[in-house]
Amino acid sequence: MRYFLRKLGFFLGTLWAVVTLNFMIPRLQPGDPAELMVRRLQGKDSQLDTAQVEAMRSMLGAPDGSLWTQYWAYLADLLRGDFGVSYTYYPFSVAEVIGQAIWWTVGLVVVTQIISFVVGIVLGAYAAWRRNSKLDTTITLGSTFLGTLQPFWIALVLLYVFGYTLGWFPTSGGYSASTPGLNMFFIEEVLSHSTLPAVALLIVTPIGWILGMRNTMIMNLGEDYIRLAKAKGLPDRTVALRYAARNALLPSVTGFALALGSVLGGTILVETVFDYPGLGRLMGEAVSNKDYPLLQTLMLLTTTGVLIANLIADLLYGVLDPRARRAEG
């Protein structure tokens, strides 16, 4: 019990620090979003009217008062679920904008992360069990080579070959002109638009799981309990799966939880290349447009998601491996 309470205390303390930093960082950025929007409406070379800037700041609901007052108002707004109005998509609120984009990112990144984890763990375990074989060499060298490639470069190649040259898949967006709904035509459009972004992620995402699982399992294969299992005459399949792979999988649990937690951050480069309507593209737009309410909400979602995933991984690790609880005690 002490182990779990300690992990929960660390989570709450880190969450408070994240919320405080998320409040401070946007306010330390140079520039005024209200001035930026006024210049965008009037033109860059026009004379800036301070009255219009004040009116725009009031319309956007820009915070005023001392920093301490703003901080408590910010915490109160968070408890109410009020994240403000998006400067980029005014007059829509940040919650509405994120609510429309989050399912695109979750559908794309969660599916690719799960597939990548399963494929990476299986290939890494098999390569470790057949270490120094031709298959192990092929998997290891292939993963190392693909690891040197950037995801956005792979996305550009896929877009050029299968989108523009062959015309097999759409080149941008999440769907075409059809009305969204639970019908086969719309589902087919969503799948066709998400195929290239998913392939771009699936090419590079499993690499970390493959190499990590292989190296950890090779270390476990040299342990005494593996030699004891072999001395007992257990089948190779049992030794590989129930002993070596099971223990080698434990460190990957934390990594997989963190990967799922970071889903809320989206994949900025891949989503931007394919103009995919997810959270990654939203974050890029928020940065370029100085949309502080949208940017700090996306940052808060991402960091909170990672913290929650890390907490779940720590609690799950304590259940799966009793040694962690005993070490904590």
What's the pLDDT tens digit per position in 188-231? 777 888 888 888 888 887 887 888 888 787 777 777 777 777 77
Question: pLDDT of 106-140, one tens digit each?
Answer: 888 778 888 888 888 888 888 877 777 888 788 88
Indicate the residue among 27, 45, 80 that finishes a domain: 80
- Report percent pLDDT > 90 for the chain: 0
Residue 89 lies in a domain: no
| Structure-token pair, residue 288 | 């370029």
Does residue 7 register a pLDDT over 70?
A: yes
**Of 325 and 250, which is predicted with more confidence?**
250
Looking at the structure, tell me whether residues 46 and 138 fall in a common domain: no
Q: What is the CATH number of the domain that holds 276?
A: 1.10.3720.10
Range(s) of the domain holding residue 294: 99-328
pLDDT at 256 (0 to 100):
75
pLDDT at 325 (0 to 100):
53
How sure is the predictor about 261, in pLDDT bands with cuts at 50, 70 and 90?
Answer: low
Question: pLDDT of 295-317, one tens digit each?
Answer: 888 888 888 877 777 777 777 66
Looking at the structure, tell me whether residues 314 and 170 fall in a common domain: yes
Residue 88 lies in a domain: no
pLDDT at 59 (0 to 100):
63
Looking at the structure, tell me whether residues 198 and 312 fall in a common domain: yes
How sure is the predictor about 271, in pLDDT bands with cuts at 50, 70 and 90?
Answer: confident
pLDDT at 9 (0 to 100):
80
Q: Which residue is listed with tokens 């910010």?
A: 74
Looking at the structure, tell me whether residues 157 and 268 fall in a common domain: yes
How sure is the predictor about 104, in pLDDT bands with cuts at 50, 70 and 90?
Answer: confident
Cα–Cα separations (whole angstroms), residue 123 to 136, 189, 208:
9, 32, 11
Looking at the structure, tell me whether residues 185 and 66 fall in a common domain: no
Looking at the structure, tell me whether residues 71 and 109 fall in a common domain: no
Looking at the structure, tell me whether residues 289 and 324 fall in a common domain: yes
Q: Specify the 3-state DSSP secondary structure of 93.
A: strand
Q: Based on the structure, what is the number of domains in the chain?
A: 2
Does residue 323 register a pLDDT over 70?
A: no
Cα–Cα separations (whole angstroms), residue 37 to 15, 28, 286:
33, 19, 13
Does residue 184 register a pLDDT over 80?
A: no
- Class of residue 209 by CB neighbours under 10 A (exposed 0-12, middle 13-18, buried 19+): buried
Helix axes 134-147, 111-129, angle to 10 degrees: 140
Check whether the bond before 197 is cis (ω within 30° of 0).
no
CA 288 to CA 294: how far, in whole Å?
Answer: 12
pLDDT at 111 (0 to 100):
83
Alpha-carbon 180 to chain mean position: 25
